[in-house]
Structure 1
Amino acid sequence: QHQPTQVLDRLYQLPLPGRVPVPVLDGSSWQTVINAPSNTGSTVNETFSAVTTNRVRLYGTGGNDNYFRLFEVEVYGVSASRESVQAPAEQAFQPPLIYPNPTSGLIHISLAGDEPAWVEIHDMRGSTVLQVS
């Protein structure tokens, strides 16, 4: 499956109160382009040195209500690929239902639709503990 590559240099309106690292894959390893260790605002507006990537990890820890909300991410850069990917207009996105979070045992994941899905679960250190496709 083709994944478009972008040259990224800024992220705006990232609603992540708490600890906010943003790593991107630079082709061979993950590098943290944003690190806000004690963000107290409702959003993060950051610029960073340009990096060519097709993967960005977004996660937040240390929030005050045990929830992570990702409403919108705006990625600005120059496309490194002439191909574009479009989602079918007739399908509205329905976020997965995941509970309880945090957990030290059983976790429930409910996905909408009948499309093939891929799930990857990480612990608080970022280590992958489960991959299912």
Structure 2
Amino acid sequence: MEAEQQGLAKEDVGLWQVCGTYLGVTACKAYPDIGQLSGALHATRAFAIIGSLMLIPGIALACFAAKKDINKGKLIGGALTIAGGVCGVIAAAIFAGRVNADLQPGVSVPYGYSFYLTWAQAVFTIGGGVAMIVAGRKDQE
């Protein structure tokens, strides 16, 4: 029994799969039936994807606007970038709430590295979007 407890090092729960380490070997398994997942997990996935889809055109538009010196493009690109960052924050918050609700009180939360990268992404994209908007407004003055 003690060897089994020592063999199971940890389990990471993610949006797309669950990974576990047993006897030094990590194995990941995708969720078997997407229809059986909770609404919170579906909402988290949706916000993560929507946020990413907003970041791509937002950054591209802001870069194009900076090159062509188009202020309106900088403002719209900055707004899309901020919206993408906010979607990332919402996704991470829903996921954290879901995992905390599923665990017993006092049990540590098994977040993977991507959860923390989502929070870092949100800080940088919201900050970058604000910088784009400030640059667009400075040029208008």
| TM tier relative to shorter chain | under 0.3
Report which of the two has the higher share of helix: 2
* Structure 1 length-normalised TM: 0.26
